[in-house]
Amino acid sequence: MFYVHDWLGGERFDRNDGCRCVVLDRLKVGDAVRGFFLASVACLLLAPLGAGAQAAQGPHYAVYFTAEETNGVPQKKPATSFGCSGKVYGVLEISGLDHGKHRVDVWWIDPSGRRRERTRFPFQVFQDKHRIWAWLRLIRSKDSVVDRVFMGNAASGMEDFIGKWTVKFRVDRRLVKKSSFKVIC
């Protein structure tokens, strides 16, 4: 058996059985096993953090409201206030969501805090970016025509709808965005 000083700061030697070994200075076998065990545990504990950093980037959600549409498809012309009639589109843009089956729920909450509408839509993700929309149709009651024409009250029949609306967007039952708009008559 012969010894050669190794660049690792230890000694390397060849045993008679043909095995090449390195012995680091002041390192015992028990310390080596303990060090290997601690390094393995550290790798196992830190690996999810690396994956978590990727997952933290995960899906990104953006919301806007619009009344502009072409052939039933809302246009990207965001607005924050709307008149007393027509459709208000709530558009959810998603990027980075896992491919596969998902579900979106859109809750329309009126100015009094009452949930007026809920849209539920199952969808499948095949690509990185996805655009989903729901709409709220604002319609005057027929009884308000007399008030509007003869009494001059333009907001008649829309009292419950005037003010700040809140819309909650949930993906797979998890709240991902909450936004608002105003109805002004």
Overall pTM > 0.85? no
Task: Put residue 47 in one of left, alpha, beta given phi > 0 → left and psi -120 to 50 → alpha.
Answer: alpha
Mean pLDDT of 141-154: 53
Nearest to 107 by CA among 92, 123, 129: 92
How much is the mean pLDDT over the chain? 76
φ, ψ of residue 183 to 5 degrees: the values are -105, 125
pLDDT at 156: 56
Question: What is the domain partition of the chain in residue ranges?
Answer: 2-57, 60-183
> What confidence tier does 20 reach under pLDDT thresholds 50, 70, 90?
very low
Cα separation, 135 vs 166, whole angstroms? 13
Q: φ, ψ for residue 154 (rounded to 5)?
A: -65, -25
- Pick the residue with more confidence: 150 or 101? 101
Q: Label each residue of 63-132 as H, E or C.
A: EEEECCEECCEECCCCCCEECCCEEEEEEEEEECCCCEEEEEEEEEECCCCCEEEEEEEEEEECCCEEEE
- Check whether 139 has a pLDDT greater than 80: yes
Mean pLDDT of 69-93: 94
pLDDT reading at 34 higher than 60:
no
pLDDT of residue 164: 97
Higher pLDDT, 57 or 149: 57
User: Tokens 């909650």 map to which residue?
Assistant: 168
**Which carries the bigger pLDDT value, residue 82 or residue 150?**
82
- What percent of the chain has pLDDT above 70? 61
Report the pLDDT averaged over residues 48-60.
Answer: 60
pLDDT at 55: 46
Residues 63-70 have a mean pLDDT of: 96
Q: Answer whether CATH 3.10.20.340 is correct for domain 60-183.
A: no
